[in-house]
Amino acid sequence: MFSEYSDNLGLIASVLGIFGAGVATHSFLNSRKTDHLKQELEQYKEEIDRLSSNLEAESGATQDSFTQSSEVWLKNNKNPVTFPDYASRKHKYSIPTIVISNLKGGVGKTTVSTNLATTIASKGKRVLFLDLDWQGSATRAFSTLGRLTERRSDIDQVFAETANGILIKSLARTGYDLPQGLSFVPTYKQFAAKENECMIKWLKGSYEFDAHYLLSKALLDPVIHEEYDAIVIDTPPRITTGLVNALTCATHLIIPTILDDISAEAAESYISSIERFKVYNSSLRISKIIGCMTYNGTKLNQTEENARKSIIRRAKSENLQTNTLIANQWIPRRSAIQQAAGNHLAVMRNKEIREIFDNIYQELDLFPQ
Ligand SMILES: Nc1ncnc2c1ncn2[C@@H]1O[C@H](COP(=O)(O)OP(=O)(O)OP(=O)(O)O)[C@@H](O)[C@H]1O
Ligand SMILES: [Mg+2]
């Protein structure tokens, strides 16, 4: 079993560890289901969590770490197996699904996703927000507003073959001080173990379809189509079960980035890599790249301008349409955003930030007439 996958898995030690632990665990359980082995399974789970943390620590968004860890998720990607009625459900039930992603940490993903989701809701749209980062930063902000005191990871239930729109609707929280029209599904660190479990199950061939489509299967559902106008998904700065599922669902991919040399390099690398995921989602497109934490509200400084040009050069070399790719509206460094982090949302309290996100909303043109 191990050698069957070793070509793909030999690239990154931590992922190898996760895989090795999982396969060994499952092989044992298949042969003799004893209490002793179940205990061993628990130990392996702990090991998976530990290795998963290592993987996170490596998420410096270098090109190598992206390429290497994504190899696992691009395994057998020639003919991805979708769930049976994928094409017809995609045609019938797809709604704007906005994924905010960048493999570089701390560039503004959660700031953009939470404030943008709130802005979309402020336009009278019904928004479903999914937090796919087990750090739960978005969950924290929305939980404060929704007065959810308990740390829950309900998103785990969404990553099951049986998950559907009714389940998601029952898990989605609304009310109290949450923006009118916005619902969110809470995520917490247990989700990391759930993601590993899904990956191992998939590598073992235990699913009937590619684990890339778990979330798509749950979201492409008449109930979601009826209940919501848009879905906004926040993602972690690393290749995870959650991220690849988000990319498979995405109708609009937004890449927030700081406009400095290191962040531009990471964004460029990500732009190129996105092409490789299109085998799972042929309609995956980068909708906007948004400059975050700029020094000035009205003019980019020289470093930022250079970074912007560099990103455009890479996008051109990937044959992307570049004239509207980088949002005209960037998001300057503002204490209103910093102070809001994890507790509330800047767009709800600050006029300047609200106008910034209104402009981004306009540029995205999510609901063309
Ligand atoms: N425009 C801004 N002005 C001031 N602070 C900002 C701005 N944008 C983001 N921040 C702050 O920078 C930090 C990182 O932002 P954020 O959490 O949105 O990044 P992220 O990409 O989601 O990070 P991670 O990769 O860890 O998930 C947060 O403390 C946030 O409040
Ligand atoms: Mg984040």
Ligand 1, atom 13: nearest CA belongs to which residue?
106
Ligand 1, atom 14: nearest CA belongs to which residue?
106
Residue 369 domain flag: no
- Alpha-carbon Rg for the chain, nearest whole angstrom, is 20
Ligand 1, atom 5: nearest CA belongs to which residue?
338
Ligand 1, atom 25: nearest CA belongs to which residue?
105
Task: Encode burial over 188-203: b for 16+ CB neighbours within 10 A, e otherwise.
Answer: bebbbbbbbbbbbbbb
Residue 50 domain flag: yes
pLDDT for position 78:
75
Residues within a 6 A CB radius of ligand 1: 105-111, 133, 137, 237, 292-293, 331, 333-334, 337-338, 341
Ligand 1: which atom is nearest the Cα of residue 104?
Answer: 25
What is the H or E stretch that residue 292 is in? strand 286-294
Residues 86, 33: one domain? Answer: no
Residue 108 domain flag: yes
Residues 299, 358: one domain? Answer: yes
**pLDDT tens readout for residues 307-351:** 999 999 999 999 999 999 999 999 999 999 999 988 899 999 999
Pairing assessment for the beta strands 230-234 and 97-100 based on DSSP bridges: parallel
Domain that holds residue 206: 82-364
Q: In this structure, which amino acid lies at residue 339?
A: Q
Ligand 1, atom 9: nearest CA belongs to which residue?
108
From residue 360, how far is each of 32, 100, 136, 355 by CA, in Å? 56, 13, 24, 9
Residues 46, 172: one domain? Answer: no
Residue 155 domain flag: yes
For ligand 2, the distance from its centroid to the CA atom of residue 85, given in whole angstroms, is 33
For ligand 2, the distance from its centroid to the CA atom of residue 84, given in whole angstroms, is 33
pTM of the model: 0.86
Residues 8, 118: one domain? Answer: no
For ligand 1, the distance from its centroid to the CA atom of residue 355, given in whole angstroms, is 19
From residue 34, how far is each of 23, 37, 39, 206, 255 by CA, in Å? 17, 5, 9, 21, 47
Q: What is the mean pLDDT of residues 78-82?
A: 88
Residues 35, 159: one domain? Answer: no
CATH number for the domain including 151?
3.40.50.300
Nearest to 245 by CA among 124, 156, 333: 156
Report phi then psi at 339, rounded to 5: -70, -25
Ligand 1, atom 17: nearest CA belongs to which residue?
110
Q: Are the CB atoms for 334 and 346 separated by under 8 Å?
A: yes
For ligand 2, the distance from its centroid to the CA atom of residue 133, given in whole angstroms, is 7
DSSP SS3 for 108? coil
| Ligand number with the minimum distance to the CA of 56 | 1
Locate 150 and state its tokens: 């308990």
pLDDT band of residue 165 (cuts 50, 70, 90) is: very high
pLDDT for position 54:
55
Residues 25, 159: one domain? Answer: no
Mutate to test the pocket of ligand 1, among 337, 343, 344, 345 (most ligand atoms within 8 A of CB): 337
Ligand 1: which atom is nearest the Cα of residue 107?
Answer: 21
Residues 45, 88: one domain? Answer: no
Q: What is the mean pLDDT of residues 13-31?
A: 45
Structural domains in the chain (count) = 2
**pLDDT tens readout for residues 167-225:** 999 999 999 999 999 999 999 999 999 999 999 999 899 999 999 999 999 999 999 99
CA dist 322 and 172 (Å) reads 36
CA dist 85 and 220 (Å) reads 10
Residues 342, 232: one domain? Answer: yes
Residue 73 domain flag: no
Residues 154, 33: one domain? Answer: no
Ligand 1: which atom is nearest the Cα of residue 133?
Answer: 27
**pLDDT tens readout for residues 278-293:** 999 999 999 999 999 9
Ligand 1, atom 2: nearest CA belongs to which residue?
333
Report phi then psi at 161, rounded to 5: -60, -25
Residue 312 domain flag: yes
Q: Are the CB atoms for 104 and 263 separated by under 8 Å?
A: yes
Ligand 1: which atom is nearest the Cα of residue 334?
Answer: 3
Nearest to 316 by CA among 286, 341, 357: 286
**pLDDT tens readout for residues 227-277:** 999 999 999 999 999 999 999 999 999 999 999 999 999 999 999 999 888
Q: Would you mind telling me the total number of residues written for the chain in this entry?
A: 369
Residues 46, 122: one domain? Answer: no
What is the H or E stretch that residue 99 is in? strand 97-100
The side-by-side arrangement of strands in the sheet containing 182-185 is 182-185, 127-131, 230-234, 97-100, 252-258, 286-294, 331-332
Q: In this structure, which amino acid lies at residue 270?
A: Y
| Ligand number with the minimum distance to the CA of 341 | 1
Question: Looking only at Cα atoms, what is the longest distance across the chain?
Answer: 66
Residue 65 domain flag: no
Give the number of other Cβ atoms within 10 Å of residue 244's Cβ. Answer: 26
Residues 40, 144: one domain? Answer: no
pLDDT for position 22:
42
Report phi then psi at 14, rounded to 5: -65, -40
CA dist 40 and 29 (Å) reads 10
CA dist 102 and 212 (Å) reads 18
Residue 74 domain flag: no
Residues 235, 312: one domain? Answer: yes
